[in-house]
Chain A
Amino acid sequence: MAESQVPYAYNYLTGAEARFLDAAVERLIPTDELGPGAKDAGVTYYIDQQLRGMWGTHGRQYRSGPWHEGTPQQGFQSRLTPQEIYRVGIHEINEYCNQKHGKNFEFLAADLQDQVLHALEEGGVSLPSLSSKLFFDILWRNTEEGFFADPIYGGNRDKIGWKLLGFPGVGGSEYNARLDNPEPYRVKEPVSIVDIEQLRAKLDAQGFPKHEKLDQQGGRK
């Protein structure tokens, strides 16, 4: 599988880790007839940026021991930071893939990749350093974030996630007036924080974008 055409440099991830993530996130949100998937949306780069930032070292999380696994209701209890979870997790999952299928994750066929992801999700892969479910849950959470968060974080490139939903982005100038209006509100192009910073959007006096709207064409959105 080819590397994604990333015009950005990775800060934390190694090339091998980026290849793993490109392959994995593309299975989680695939490219299909509805449009591009997570790989093209730049989710790998989004994860890289999150990892190098405050969240990557759990800067605002409680990080003192003693460490116990606890019950599911007690939530995250790993001693590892997200940086470590990705680094160690990817390495150990690739070891597992090599043992079981003779190849790194990114070289497996799509249906085998799905199988591995399902096994991770169910906690069915025993990794030496962490629960495979913990790894999967963080990966899926970050993939969803990277696909739908404002492009300011490096994912949701070209507002791919928002276009999939028909989400207009930053709240529009007319929303208050439209509150009790059932007419569908559809925009030609969602407006992001990046668009506003780069002066690509028309704004009202209060800073709310004046979305360019599509004509009503009926049919389902």
Chain B
Amino acid sequence: MTTTKMKHVDAVVVGSGVVGSIMCMELANAGLSVVCLERGRMSDPQKDFTMPYVHDELKYDRHSDIFQNLSRETITVRNNMGEMALPMRELGSFKPGELVGGTAVHWGTNARRFLPHDFELRSQSEARYGKDYFPQDCTSQDWGVTYDDVEPYYDMFEHIYGVGGKAGNLDGQIQPGGNPHEGPRSREYPNPPTRRTPQGEIFAKAVSELGYTPFQGPAAAMTQEYTNLYKVHLGECQRGGFCSSHACSQGAKANPLTTVMPALYKQPTFEMRPLCNVIKVNTDSTGKKATGVTYIDARGNTVEQTADIVILATYCFNNTRLLLLSDIGTPYDPTTGKGVVGRNYSYQTGGRIHVFFDDKEFNPFIGGGMVNTSIDDLNGDVIDRSGLGFVGGAYIGCAQPGATPIKSKPVPHGTPRWGAAWKKAVAENYHHCLTVSIHGSCQSYRGHYLDLDPTYKDANGLPLLRMTYDWHQNEQKMLKWMYEKITQIVKVMNPSKYHAHPIASKYSIVPYQSTHNMGGVAMGADPATSAVNKHLQSWDIPNLFVVGGSAFPQNPAQGPTETIGMLACWAADGIKDIYLKRPGQSMV
């Protein structure tokens, strides 16, 4: 097979999602020639995502062509090393995207910073509670950066994504109305918080009675028209429901297409190349320098793109897989605990209680844009954790995502799954239910990891990524404790009935949980336990950067994307400020 060679560029960015788009923009802004290679098709939100067609639950919840096409590539899954991993044959637990713009074209817009504590979890917790605090097999570790290092980049990302919220801590001064437990911020959010829904009011009243501090959770769906850092204009969110999992017709959901692309496409040194599936990062004979990448284009040609800088921004899974396929870095071996690529895979824990009120009628279909009322009092190091018997925390929230009729019709416990009694319960409860949910952290463990599958291949004949993952006792203990706490909240609401979702005994690929897959290419201060340094630069190959949730050494409670976007801003600045002055050198 012949390989076509493309004109050399300063930087090649693989993936056009939250990370890829910002990396491209920042590097093109600095005058570099940049090519973005994206496996998915081109997209134009003004033509592709219009009313009323985006309000189609069947399409966007189940069958949309903006989700990853598993017929070409999937992952394999097993709960533990003793099992044979089998392919994820249909989308379930998570829903990665495959088009220009990536997964965030259909994300939910919950946009929270991590707590300062989260970045130094291991060292701070051991200092406070002793060395035995972490389970023996827990590999959670510090990030190699502190909150203070990255605060300006959180601020930058919030001004790209137009996040709406109320500051709870401005330069150390606690502010009424915000989250008092957040890290100090250098200025207010760019947009005001969401208005509080009637359901949010009930939640706020209950948690206040218990001594917690409610606030409107920050979200990246515009609470007013907004012009962002890149001078791109976004519209106001209409709260029409059909939001998370759906594309947005209003230009109100912040994502690469609405915040970055319009400005990026104007950059003369930038080129977007869709339908290009990257299969390898190429290195020179020393193995210490990346020369570019190889991809398969739309016509099936094998193409080589050379570049001085290679940036992988292909989401947790392919960031890990491309390193493994390219023989870069030492693959993680769970039996010895040695190696780094594929290490520290983690996910997100969740739970919820459906709360029914016979005497209250809600409008559950009004919502979306992640309107929610939350508390952060059970998260991070806010509470004294000695004696709790678990590591981690959660935020508790009451959100109105817009209850669509196929998937959002909670019924009281004991209702049959189908038949007349089910039909009656569905009709009686749809307008009378609110949900209190747990959004919890997830630690990393020695036995949870990513590697190449020995059996199953993608459409190009290359091994699929294999996930070995299960819920750990630590997370189950945490959930149990959280359920006790939120049951107290629910009881204060004085509902007619309520019921909690059971805590899963095993991790299953079947029900949708969250597209918050983390780790595999962890960042850190020590090359023995991390694959990239604190600038997201490969320890092995200084002109290779691997950016995204893949860098999370474990997953804090808040939802990843605010931090993923922040890391893109931080990594881009590192390249511009440090790397370009000493190209080819390690930055630490």
Contacts and interface: CB of A to CB of B under 8 A. Distances in A.
B30 interface: no
A15 interface: no
Contacts of B506: 71, 73
Contacts of A77: 86, 89
B58 A221 contact: no
B77 A175 contact: no
Contacts of B236: 176
B354 interface: no
Nearest to B360: A182
B69 A60 contact: yes
A91 to B, nearest CB: 23
Contacts of A180: 195-198
A170 B63 contact: no
B367 interface: yes
A152 interface: yes
Interface string B470-506: 0000000000000000000000000000000000001
A108 to B, nearest CB: 15
B196 to A, nearest CB: 6
Interface string B63-85: 10101011100100111000110
Contacts of A175: 238-241, 365-366
A32 interface: yes
Contacts of B318: none
Contacts of A181: 198
Contact of B88 (A28, A55, A72, A75): A75
Contacts of B208: none
A166 interface: yes
Contact of A179 (B71, B197, B249): B197
B94 interface: no
A54 interface: yes
Contact of A165 (B56, B88, B242, B427): B427
A74 B430 contact: no
Interface string B362-394: 110111100100000000000000000000000
Contacts of B58: 145, 149-150, 153
Q: A71, A73, A145, A181: which has the most chain B beta carbons within 10 Å?
A: A73
Interface string A140-161: 1001110011101100000001
Given A76-B90, A184-B363, A60 B57 contact: no
B361 A171 contact: no
A75 B92 contact: yes
Given A168-B365, A220-B361, A30 B420 contact: yes
Contacts of B368: 171
Interface in B445-463: 455-457
Main secondary structure of the interface of B (DSSP, over half): loop
Contacts of A70: 84, 86
A179 B216 CA distance: 13
A142 to B, nearest CB: 10
B53 interface: yes
A193 interface: yes
B89 A161 contact: no
Interface stretch (A2-10, A61-69, A96-104, A124-132): A61-69
A84 interface: no
A64 to B, nearest CB: 7
Nearest to B56: A150
Interface in A25-55: 27-30, 32, 34, 37, 54-55
B366 A64 contact: no
Given A59-B71, A164-B423, A206 B238 contact: yes
Contact of B53 (A54, A193, A203, A221): A193
Q: Which of B363, B424, B430, B457 is packed against the most chain A CB atoms within 10 Å?
A: B363
B257 interface: no
B385 to A, nearest CB: 30
A164 B154 CA distance: 45
Given A168-B365, A171-B238, A68 B84 contact: yes
Given A193-B55, A208-B51, A179 B365 contact: no
A108 B332 CA distance: 58
Interface string B413-425: 0000111101110
Interface in B393-409: 402, 405-406, 409
B419 A73 contact: no
B175 interface: no
A171 B54 CA distance: 10
Given A165-B405, A170-B52, A184-B361, A179 B430 contact: no
B286 to A, nearest CB: 37
Interface stretch (B269-277, B292-300, B507-515, B560-568): B507-515
A221 B50 CA distance: 31
Contacts of B457: 64
B283 interface: no
Nearest to B361: A184
Contacts of B526: none
Nearest to A149: B58
A13 to B, nearest CB: 19
A220 B362 CA distance: 11
A207 B419 contact: no
A162 to B, nearest CB: 6
A208 to B, nearest CB: 6
A42 B197 CA distance: 36
A69 B362 CA distance: 43
A153 B78 CA distance: 35
B365 A167 contact: yes
A107 interface: no
Contacts of B366: 175, 178-179, 185
A179 B239 contact: yes
B330 interface: no
Contacts of B249: 206-207
Given A29-B423, A175-B240, A208-B51, A62 B89 contact: yes
Nearest to A165: B430
A75 B424 contact: no
Contact of A114 (B90, B417, B419): B419
A102 to B, nearest CB: 25
B79 A71 contact: yes
A123 interface: no
A166 B431 contact: yes
Contacts of B5: none
A117 B420 CA distance: 14
A61 B409 CA distance: 27
7 contacts: A32-B424, A64-B87, A64-B457, A77-B86, A143-B418, A184-B363, A206-B238
Interface of A: 27-30, 32, 34, 37, 54-55, 58-64, 66, 68, 70-77, 114, 117, 121, 140, 143-145, 148-150, 152-153, 161-162, 164-172, 175-176, 178-182, 184-185, 193, 196, 203, 206-209, 220-221
Interface of B: 50-53, 55-58, 62-63, 65, 67, 69-71, 74, 77-79, 83-84, 86-90, 92, 194-198, 236-242, 249-250, 358, 361-363, 365-368, 371, 402, 405-406, 409, 417-420, 422-424, 426-428, 430-431, 455-457, 506-510
